[in-house]
C-alpha cells in the first residue's frame, strides 16, 4: 500500500479510541484481557516494499504482491502510521496457505510495513490478531488510529462482531460493535491489551449498526448507523448519532438526530438516506470544511454504482451524485465487488478522493488458486 501520512484525520478519531482505557472500568463492560495477554510477534517473512506514488502503482503492487504463508488475501483494509515510521494495516477475513501451521482462515489479521519490508503480525497461537470469543463469534475491523506516547503508540481498532450461520459466502450475521486496543513499542511487535464488546448481541438487521462510519467535528463524534428494513432490500438506510468523546462508551449519553433536533431516543433517529438504492452496510463519511460526503455503493454487492452523497453538514440533507464509477459484481463468473471506502489523505487532490473497494469470489477453491482476486482495488473519483 502507499504510506501517505493519514495522521491528521486519524487524530480526529483518536478521541474515540483513546477513551477505551477509561471505559474498560465502566460497570457492565465486556472486555477480554488478562495479567499477561499474549503478545503477537512479527513473522520472520520479509517482502520487499517500495511505496507506489500513483493509484495505478497501488493496483499493480496489490495484484502482483507475493503472498506469505500467513497472508494470501483479505478484504477491507484500514491503516495508520506509527511514530517510528512504520505502517500498520488491519484486514477482515484473511486466507492463509493450506500448509500453514495454524488457522487457515481468520476473521482479522495485521500487516506491518517498515522501510523496505512488509511483515505479518502473527499471534503465538497462529490465530486472529483479535481472537474470537469463546463461543466462536469473531471480529471484523472497520477502522483504526494511533495515539503517540513516549516510546510507544496506542492503536485503537473499531470492530464489528460477526457470527457464522452456515457454509456460504453470505451465511453470517452482525451482532454489534466492539473495540480493541494494542500497544506498539517503537520498533517492536504490537501487543493486544484488551477487546471490549459494546452492547448485547443483537442480529436484527433492522437495528442500525452504529459506527458503520465515524467522523469528528466541533468536539463531537458523529456515529452513522446503517440498517436494512427487510431481506428483500439490498441497500441500507443511513442515520446519525453523536456523542462527546469522553462519553462514547456509554450509549445512554448519545444523541440522535430526529430530522429537526438532537434527542435521546434511538428509535426516533431520522433516515438520512433511504434503504432503497441506499448505502452499504459499512461506508465512509468525511468532511472538508463545511462540505460533508458519504461514499458508498448503492445496493452493496448486488449493486453497480459508486455514489457520493453530499451535504452541508453532518445531519444532511444528503444529495446523491451521479454514478462516479461502475463496480458491479459478476454473478455469472462469481466475482464480488463491494464496500467502497474513501481514503481522503491517500494521494490527496483538491477535487477528488481515492477510494478502495473489496473483491472476492464465490468459489473458495478458485480463491486459493489466485489470492490476488481477494485483494482491494483502488481508484480516484471526483467529488460532487
b/e string for 254-290 if b means 16 or more Cβ within 10 A? bbbbeeeeeeeebeebbebbebeebbbbbbbbbbeee
Report, as an integer, the average pLDDT of 250-278: 95
For residue 46, pLDDT over 60 is answered with yes
Q: Residue 62 in 3-state DSSP?
A: helix
Interval 118-136: pLDDT, tens: 888 999 899 999 999 999 9
How many CB atoms are closer than 10 A to CB 141?
A: 24
Interval 288-305: pLDDT, tens: 999 999 999 999 888 999
Please state the separation of Cα 9 from the chain's center in Å.
Answer: 15
Report, as an integer, the average pLDDT of 330-354: 89
The reported pTM is 0.80
- What is the Cα–Cα distance from 214 to 318, expressed in whole angstroms? 16
CB-count burial class (<10 Å; 0-12, 13-18, 19+) for 144: buried
Q: Residue 180 forms beta bridges with which residues? A: 157, 195
- What is the Cα–Cα distance from 306 to 381, expressed in whole angstroms? 9
Rg of the chain over Cα atoms, rounded to whole angstroms, equals 20
Domain ranges of the chain: 1-27+41-198, 204-384
Average pLDDT in the chain = 84
Q: What percent of the chain has pLDDT over 90?
A: 45
Q: Are 125 and 145 in contact (CB under 8 A)?
A: no
What's phi and psi for 353, nearest 5 deg?
A: -145, 145
- What is the Cα–Cα distance from 220 to 217, expressed in whole angstroms? 6
What's phi and psi for 58, nearest 5 deg?
A: -60, -45
What pLDDT does residue 315 have? 98
Amino acid at each position: 500500500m502507499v504510506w501517505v501520512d493519514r495522521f491528521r484525520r486519524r487524530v480526529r478519531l483518536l478521541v474515540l479510541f483513546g477513551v477505551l482505557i477509561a471505559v474498560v472500568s465502566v460497570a457492565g463492560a465486556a472486555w477480554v484481557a488478562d495479567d499477561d495477554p499474549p503478545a503477537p510477534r512479527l513473522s520472520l517473512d520479509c517482502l520487499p516494499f517500495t511505496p507506489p506514488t500513483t493509484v495505478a502503482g497501488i493496483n499493480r503492487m496489490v495484484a502482483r504482491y507475493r503472498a506469505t504463508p500467513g497472508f494470501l488475501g483479505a478484504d477491507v483494509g484500514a491503516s495508520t502510521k506509527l511514530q517510528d515510521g512504520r505502517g500498520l494495516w488491519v484486514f477482515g477475513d484473511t486466507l492463509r496457505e493450506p500448509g500453514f501451521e495454524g488457522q487457515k482462515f481468520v476473521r482479522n489479521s495485521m500487516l506491518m510495513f517498515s522501510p523496505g519490508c512488509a511483515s505479518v503480525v502473527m499471534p503465538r497461537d497462529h490465530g486472529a490478531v483479535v481472537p474470537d470469543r469463546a463461543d466462536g463469534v469473531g471480529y471484523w475491523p472497520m477502522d483504526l488510529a494511533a495515539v503517540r506516547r513516549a516510546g510507544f503508540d496506542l492503536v485503537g481498532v473499531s470492530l464489528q462482531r460477526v457470527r457464522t450461520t452456515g457454509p456460504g459466502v453470505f451465511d453470517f450475521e452482525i451482532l454489534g460493535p466492539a473495540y480493541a486496543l494494542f500497544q506498539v513499542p517503537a520498533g517492536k511487535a504490537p501487543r493486544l491489551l484488551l477487546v471490549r464488546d459494546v452492547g448485547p448481541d443483537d442480529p436484527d438487521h433492522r437495528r442500525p449498526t452504529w459506527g458503520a462510519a465515524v467522523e469528528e467535528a466541533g468536539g463531537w463524534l458523529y456515529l452513522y448507523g446503517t440498517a436494512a428494513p427487510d431481506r428483500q432490500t439490498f441497500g441500507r438506510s443511513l442515520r446519525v448519532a453523536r456523542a462527546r468523546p469522553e462519553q462514547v462508551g456509554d450509549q445512554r449519553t448519545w444523541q440522535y438526530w430526529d430530522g429537526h433536533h438532537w434527542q435521546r431516543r434511538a428509535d426516533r433517529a431520522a433516515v438520512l438516506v433511504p434503504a432503497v438504492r441506499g448505502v452499504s452496510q459499512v461506508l465512509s463519511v468525511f468532511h472538508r470544511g463545511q462540505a460533508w460526503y458519504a461514499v458508498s455503493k448503492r445496493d452493496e454487492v448486488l449493486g453497480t454504482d459508486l455514489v457520493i452523497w453530499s451535504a452541508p453538514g453532518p445531519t444532511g440533507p444528503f444529495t446523491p451524485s451521479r454514478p462516479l464509477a461502475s463496480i458491479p459484481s459478476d454473478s455469472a463468473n462469481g466475482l464480488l465487488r463491494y464496500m467502497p471506502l474513501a481514503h481522503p489523505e491517500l494521494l490527496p487532490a483538491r477535487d477528488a478522493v481515492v477510494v478502495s473497494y473489496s473483491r472476492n469470489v464465490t468459489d473458495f477453491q478458485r480463491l486459493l488458486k489466485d489470492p490476488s482476486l481477494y485483494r482491494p482495488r483502488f481508484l480516484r473519483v471526483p467529488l460532487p
